[in-house]
A and B are shown apart, each in its own frame.
Chain A
């Protein structure tokens, strides 16, 4: 596989099959319960989480759960508390009350590192990327690859470049031609694809997606939705926020509606209609 030091990807397009291999291998190693086993067991449970910012009660006793191999869509109006819930689960903010359970066990998540250790990865709504760093460094920020030993232990940029190229290719991202480009010079959609690649770099058992397709073009959004379906097939538990009803009904196994910080309804796409969901979002009884 070919990634030059300058980061150009032009030469790469020809052989997609070969690049996918290392990622798949990585997936195997991180997945705790093997790729195929999709036992309907609970991966993540949020229990009675409340969070207020001053006078604003952003979340009030919110409970929900996501199984392995299940996609749960979290929907609600602007300001309903969706992102706040994601931030609580990913350790970005500490809730006022409530518990988290991962694989049925109580976990205490007080920092992003805690969440990462529980196997939780997140795409934040604001993407959380460093504009001054390039695509490779953003992808590997906080989990860099090294080579050498002792005082000569140093970052392995060559390996990170190669895997970045492979990851972007696997996501079907062709719009970023150079992975050494600083984030500041990428478009909104390109930035979002980098955030997606970042969250799915290793196969983490629990993924939180806060509007991952909000600024994507049709083709790129398609790729992300396919990625979500692929990950679900591998047993990943996915909590996804989106305002796009078509996407909700396309990928979700369950729909959790947040209204003014509370769970308004839990619905199944198979037994409901977009109209019902929209009414629930607006806080009206079905």
Chain B
């Protein structure tokens, strides 16, 4: 049953060697086919392209933009937005939205402050309670949405206000609680030693190569799909090299990557993860197939609440305090923007957890680059607004192209 597929089975691989074709021609035609394949699948390609454009543009404006020091700063800046965006992606995949994550982060940070500073609780226990608090509030919202069928937009909008009230209530009259626990501060303020960074990169690299070889040996892997592990490996090495040229891999960024890897595993390799996509694509079809739609929906909001609390943890750690402004401002909107820019559809059923990273890097990259150019806040907001608008337009256009394709197909049949 498991004869390996000959590598030449895929059309891309069976280009006959043409003596007269110049290498550049072949390169160009390969790039063209690759680009059109990537675009037609609605992947993160546009986002990655914009990342490159941003890098080139700001580097031309300021020599400092691509320096290891600034890129490390950028990674830390992007972490908070990315964690919230990751939470957002879980509900966006369902076609829902969570407008409460800013206040969720703020309220859980306030709770952390009370537990650590007033309650002198062990830091790990406090973090655990804080994340459970986020999960609980998220499930609470999910219950209204899944079981009562109230639109997520409304429930989480109410949640946003309610949790802000909760945040202010927990903080009490002072309005700010200092959080001086060194372990919590270390979550955002430290870097891995250079050698540890390299060892980690080596371990991950070996794991990627090994798993690829295993898949290859099991058969059924086209040579073309081997390019992805290579790209991932190169990216890891480059990233670690850049961070190590500064002060080492930032701890919060490492936490983010760990969260992304777990989220990726769950969404790609487990049935609840795949059911997120199924429900987002066609909830009634999923229900008829026996998917526990309500449970999936509630679980997704529990996850987004937990990640909102995790964002609150990173923010509190970074600021050394929990205040009335923690989780406020444009954080939530930047996170939603990041998720969408990264290629997550607002209509549900399409996207990837990596959108959180790519999107957050774009949002923070623009902010960071404009800072380097000494731009004012008004300009920054306007540029970010334009970027989000373009990203959503692209999403809508891709979606329309897809569905038009189907209607055409149905009409012909």
* A contact set with B: CB distance below 8 Å: 1-6, 8, 10-11, 22, 90, 92, 112-113, 116, 122, 124, 127-133, 137, 141-144, 146, 153-155, 158, 161-162, 182-191, 215, 217
CB distance from B357 to the nearest CB of A (A): 22
B278 near A130 (CB under 8 angstroms)? yes
Q: Which of B2, B288, B410, B411 has the largest number of chain A CB atoms within 10 A?
A: B288
Q: Is the CB of B9 within 8 A of A92?
A: no
B269 within 8 A of A: yes
Chain A nearest CB, measured from B274 CB (Å): 6
B289 near A141 with CB under 8 A, answer yes
Residue of A nearest to B279 (CB): A130
CB contacts (< 8 Å) of A215 on chain B: these are 410, 413
What 7 A-B pairs are tightest by C-beta distance, nearest first?
A: A142-B289, A132-B281, A130-B281, A142-B290, A188-B413, A188-B410, A132-B349
B23 located at the interface, meaning its Cβ lies under 8 Å from any Cβ of chain A in the complex: no
Verify B288–A187 contact, CB threshold 8 A: no
Q: Are B286 and A141 in contact (CB under 8 A)?
A: yes
Q: Which residues of B contact A6 (CB under 8 A)?
A: 10, 222, 224-225
Q: Which of A2, A112, A189 contacts B3 (CB 8 A)?
A: A2
* A106 CB to nearest B CB, Å: 22
Contact with A along B220-231 (1 / 0, CB 8 A): 111011000000
In the assembled complex, the CB of A57 is this many whole angstroms from the nearest CB of chain B, namely: 23
A186 near B409: Cβ-Cβ < 8 Å: yes
Q: How many residues of B contact A (CB 8 A)?
A: 44
Which of A22, A116, A130, A154 is most buried by chain B, counting CB atoms within 10 A of its CB? A130
A127 to B277 alpha-carbon distance, docked (Å):
18
Contact with A along B259-286 (1 / 0, CB 8 A): 0000001000111001101101110111
Cβ of B120 within 8 Å of any chain A Cβ, yes or no, is no
Whole-angstrom CA separation of A22 from B2 in the bound complex: 13
Q: Is B218 an interface residue (CB 8 A)?
A: yes
Q: Are A128 and B288 in contact (CB under 8 A)?
A: yes
A-B contact pairs, 26 of them (CB 8 A): A1-B2, A2-B3, A4-B221, A11-B5, A11-B6, A11-B9, A92-B287, A112-B288, A128-B285, A130-B349, A131-B281, A132-B281, A137-B278, A141-B286, A142-B286, A142-B289, A142-B291, A154-B269, A155-B269, A158-B218, A185-B402, A185-B409, A186-B409, A187-B410, A187-B412, A215-B413
Query: Which of B215, B220, B289 is A128 in contact with, Cβ under 8 Å?
Result: B289
B350 within 8 Å of A (CB atoms): yes
8 Å CB contacts to A: which residues of B327-364? 349-350
Task: Judge whether B119 is part of the interface by a CB distance below 8 angstroms.
Answer: no
A131 to B10, CA, bound (A): 24
- Docked CA distance A49–B411 (Å): 36
**Additional A-B contact list (18), CB under 8 Å, known A4-B220, A188-B413:** A1-B2, A4-B5, A8-B9, A11-B9, A112-B290, A128-B282, A130-B286, A137-B277, A141-B275, A144-B274, A153-B270, A155-B271, A162-B1, A183-B406, A185-B409, A186-B406, A187-B412, A187-B413
Q: Which residue of B lies closest to A154 (CB)?
A: B269
Min CB gap B282→A, angstroms: 4
Q: Which residues of A contact B349 (CB under 8 A)?
A: 130-133
Which of A22, A141, A217 is within 8 Å of B278, CB to CB?
A: A141
| Other-chain residue from A1, A155, A184, A187 in contact with B274 (beta carbon distance below 8 A) | A155
- In this assembly, does B405 line the interface, its C-beta being within 8 Å of a C-beta of chain A? yes
State the Cβ distance, B345 to closest chain A Cβ, in Å. Answer: 9
Chain B: CB-nearest residue to A124: B288
Q: Given A128-B285, A184-B405, A4–B278 Cβ distance below 8 Å? A: no
Q: What's the least CB distance linking B133 to chain A, in Å?
A: 25
Min C-beta distance of B216 to chain A, whole Å: 10
